[in-house]
Structure 1
Amino acid sequence: MSTPQEIFQRYVYAGPLTRNADALAENFTADGVLELPLMPAGAAFPRRLAGREEIRAAMATYYARQPEDARPPNLDKSGYVLHTTADPEVFIAEIDTVFDGDEDGDAADVVVSLVQIFRIRDGKIARLRDYFAPDLMG
């Protein structure tokens, strides 16, 4: 059985670090749900994706829209804390992701703070609620 740490690390590697929609989707159960409750209605990115295939398709589209030279998170400056709960199928990730400022030093680092709530079934994500500033989904 996978630990919350292992599940979280696989999810982060597949998504934010490598932007691999196929690998990201495989972290979810076949009927898994990805929810972004703070995403405004009518936004370009949906508030709810239901099922591994819908997650795969939506994330592939999103990743394809990202600039090739988009800066990855600075892992040395970023951090997270995982909180287990009384329910062994639920854990919470408290995350501060840091993106370096520009190379010329004209722009400061950008810190993105968010909270994710994971519900796990059989070592896969059955439901993930991602609470972050929706304007980051450009």
Structure 2
Amino acid sequence: MSRTPQQIFESYIYAGTITRNADALAESFTEDGVFEAPLMPADAAFPRRLVGREEIRNAMAAYYEQPVKDGRTPNLEKSGYVLHTTSSPDVFIAEIDTVFDGDGEDTAVSLVQIFRIRDGKIARLRDYFAPELMS
């Protein structure tokens, strides 16, 4: 049975943002999956483009080893998202507002992700967010 966009999105967010589990994140992609953050500068710590499940696994494991900026954690009660389906059953868009708890002040991050799905896994993900939020 094929997974719904909501199931795919929620498992991706749990693997990446919530648990920072590079193995689980990589497994949400097809073997030849592509992860892109097109707005990231080439020299940023957060990867700009990764091709293939193993490259995603290795690069994200290295990224997750770095300390979290300002010790912040996502506040799921304050955060939210809307999924938008498209005319293609293999494409959906996530509009996300994440609120991070930090030292004394919350930080809000708004972003858009475009998912292309194949066989219930992510074949291509484009993640659009302000690069300075990840440095």
Quote the offset at 1:100 in angstroms: 1.9
Query: Structure 1 residues 70 and 88 mapped into 2: Cα distance closer, same or farther (>3 Å)?
Result: same
User: Percent of aligned positions with the same letter in both sequences?
Assistant: 75
2:131 paired residue number: 134
Quote the offset at 1:70 in angstroms: 2.6
1:70 paired residue number: 71
The number of equivalent residue pairs is 134
What CA deviation, in whole Å up to 9, does each residue of 1:90-124 have, x standing for no partner?
Answer: 0000000001242xxxx321100000000000000
Q: Distance in 1 between matches of 2:133 and 2:98?
A: 12
Q: Of the two, which has the highest radius of gyration?
A: 1
1:124 paired residue number: 121
Name the aligned partner's letter for residue 35 of structure 1. E
2:91 paired residue number: 90
Q: Distance in 1 between matches of 2:11 and 2:45?
A: 26
What CA deviation, in whole Å up to 9, does each residue of 1:18-69 have, x standing for no partner?
Answer: 0000000000000000000001123233311000000000000000012498
TM-score, reference length from structure 2: 0.94
Query: CA RMSD of the aligned region, Å?
Result: 1.5
2:48 paired residue number: 47
Asked if structure 1 preserves the Cα contact closer than 8 Å seen for 2:70 and 2:102, the reply is no
Q: Distance in 2 between matches of 1:46 and 1:7?
A: 21
SS at match of 1:65: coil
Query: Structure 1 residues 36 and 68 mapped into 2: Cα distance closer, same or farther (>3 Å)?
Result: closer
Structure 1 runs of 4+ aligned residues shifted over 3 Å read none
In structure 1, the gaps of 5 or more residues are none
TM-score, reference length from structure 1: 0.92
In structure 2, the gaps of 5 or more residues are none
Asked if structure 1 preserves the Cα contact closer than 8 Å seen for 2:116 and 2:122, the reply is yes
